[in-house]
Amino acid sequence: MEDGLAEGRRRVLVKLSGEALAAPDGYWLHAQTLATLADDLARTAATGVELAIVIGGGNIIRGARMSQAGWIDRPTADSMGMLATVMNSLALETALNAAGVDARTMSAVSMPTICETYARQPALHHLDQGQVVLIAGGTGNPFFTTDTAAVLRAAELRCHAVLKATQVDGVYSADPKLDPTATRYDRLTHDEAITRDLKVMDTAAFALARENRLTVIIGSIHAPSSVQAILSGHSPSTTVAP
């Protein structure tokens, strides 16, 4: 892209939705999708981009939605969602290893018999060594989305940008599936994203990105797009920056 994020030593945190991993029949994981995504991330890493990854758990469970049903409280439901992100991260770690990428999962929720506990300094060391770091468990606390966790970890790990790979190729003036006249924004400020209440990322995440002057890129994870294509400027996206 025009900011040159794919050139030289650049560090990007990629935020993936859990739904992106689901199979067409609704099963929570799809082997071919994992393999395709791992190949894309491997090609991106080969360009010199250092990658941290945060994956949601929505293909398995959504804590907020479950708590709204009224039969389980929000902190418990969110804790279950954190466990879902660990499962997704372990699955993608395995796919990355199969693609020849050295990757490891670190969880904000301590489970040392399964994966390494997240801490900033070890995560920085892994990134410096060229490993892809998958950061699971959200922030480790209820009431925070994985969008907010992604921006928080990006700020901690001195990332140059957050790439939110989502269902659409950027931020639009209206839902492009419902309004054919909707236009895509090429660039927005953090203040504009917050004031317009854009739903592509939650307000707390945008506010944290603004506070840390962190660029957020929104693009589509679906073919013909890819992480590598978005970062290199070959696929459309929206940049939210100071």
**Where exactly are the structural domains of the chain?**
10-240
Residue 222 pLDDT level (bands cut at 50, 70, 90): confident
Q: Between vectors from CA 200 to CA 188 and to CA 195, what angle results, nearest 5°? A: 50
CATH superfamily of the domain spanning 10-240:
Acetylglutamate kinase-like (3.40.1160.10)
CB 60 within 8 A of CB 87: yes
pLDDT in tens, 165-218: 998 899 998 888 889 899 999 999 999 999 988 888 999 999 999 999 999 999
Percent of the chain's residues with pLDDT above 70:
96
- For residue 38, what are its two tokens? 């791992």
Over residues 63-86, the mean pLDDT reads 88
**Which of 79, 83, 96 shows the shortest CA–CA distance to 40?**
96
pLDDT in tens, 5-26: 545 469 999 999 999 999 988 8
CB 204 within 8 A of CB 179: no
pTM for this one?
Answer: 0.93
User: Could you give the CA distance from residue 76 to residue 97 in angstroms, rounded to a whole number?
Assistant: 32
Q: Which residues pair with 12 in a beta bridge?
A: 51, 161
